């Protein structure tokens, strides 16, 4: 588990009740993912501490949270120690992205180029924004923020690690 790439599906935000359950804010658009889950990784990204968690029970709480009971934590005090931990899975257990979509971690490192083959740079990350995600592309001389919209993102080939964009005039000059 140490050093293995993880996919985050939630974050522990507070203890819940007297039996050690925790409230987890979802960081997945597939909340049903938790229903069949029996094991997870409790990850502290600041220290990269990774602890296995064995899930005893899951209960949905609204559209954006679940209550999680873990076998190793059976008191409010023990649960309080988990606040801020991320609920993660090994990347190999990630559900496939819906057709026509990709996870940000799948895009990271892809070469970004124009239709004529000129390379703009490498996709370094995704920055969420209210209107649409912005792709952070690091070029040889500068960084570009590319809106992730169909009018600009022309082709994504994950196997070839290549993204073709069709930016409007002036976007790459900003």
What CATH number is given to the structural domain containing 58? 2.40.30.60
Residues 86 and 6: their CA atoms lie apart, in Å, by 10
SS3 6: strand
Task: Say yes or no: 27 and 74 in one domain.
Answer: yes
Domain membership flag for residue 119 = yes
Q: How far is CA 75 from CA 17, 22, 61, 80, in A?
A: 9, 10, 20, 9
Question: DSSP label at 107?
Answer: H
pLDDT score of 3 more than 80: no
Number of domains the chain is built from: 2
Task: Say yes or no: 37 and 81 in one domain.
Answer: yes
CA nearest neighbour of 55 among 33, 26, 76, 77: 33
pLDDT score of 152 more than 60: yes
pLDDT band at 84 (very low <50, low <70, confident <90, very high): very high
Question: DSSP label at 75?
Answer: S
* CB-CB contact of 173 with 139 (8 Å): no
Look up residue 70 and give its two tokens: 């873990």
pLDDT band at 101 (very low <50, low <70, confident <90, very high): confident
The predicted structure's pLDDT at residue 30: 85
* CB-CB contact of 20 with 70 (8 Å): yes
pLDDT score of 23 more than 90: yes
Task: Say yes or no: 165 and 135 in one domain.
Answer: yes
Task: Say yes or no: 80 and 110 in one domain.
Answer: no
Domain membership flag for residue 98 = no
Section 105-125 average pLDDT: 95
Instruction: Mark which of 69, 93, 117 sits at the end of a domain.
Output: 93
Instruction: Report residue 36: phi and psi, to 5°.
Output: -100, 0
Write out the residue range of the structural domain in which residue 76 sits: 6-93
Instruction: Mark which of 93, 119, 146 sits at the end of a domain.
Output: 93
Section 29-34 average pLDDT: 87
Instruction: Mark which of 73, 93, 113 sits at the end of a domain.
Output: 93
Domain membership flag for residue 15 = yes
Residues 48 and 84: their CA atoms lie apart, in Å, by 13
* CB-CB contact of 116 with 108 (8 Å): no
pLDDT score of 123 more than 80: yes
Domain membership flag for residue 30 = yes
Domain membership flag for residue 58 = yes
**87 has which bridge partners?**
10, 42
Residues 90 and 14: their CA atoms lie apart, in Å, by 24
Look up residue 56 and give its two tokens: 């005893």
Task: Say yes or no: 62 and 109 in one domain.
Answer: no
Section 31-49 average pLDDT: 92
SS3 25: strand
């Amino acid at each position: 588990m140490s050093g293995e790439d993880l996919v985050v599906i939630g974050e522990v935000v507070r203890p819940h009740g007297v039996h050690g359950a925790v409230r987890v804010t979802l960081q997945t658009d597939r909340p049903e993912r938790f229903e069949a889950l029996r094991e997870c990784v409790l990850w502290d990204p600041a220290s990269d501490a990774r602890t296995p968690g064995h899930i005893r029970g899951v209960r949905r709480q609204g559209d954006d949270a679940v209550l999680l009971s873990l076998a190793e934590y059976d008191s409010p005090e023990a649960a309080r120690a988990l606040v801020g931990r991320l609920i993660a899975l090994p990347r190999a257990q990630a559900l496939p992205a819906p057709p026509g979509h990709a996870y940000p971690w799948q895009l990271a490192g892809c070469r970004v180029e124009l239709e004529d083959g000129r390379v703009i740079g490498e996709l370094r990350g995704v920055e969420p924004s209210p209107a649409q995600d912005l792709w952070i592309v690091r070029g040889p001389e500068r960084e570009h923020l590319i809106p992730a919209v169909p009018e600009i993102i022309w082709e994504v080939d994950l196997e070839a690690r290549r993204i073709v964009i069709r930016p409007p005039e002036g976007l790459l000059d900003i």
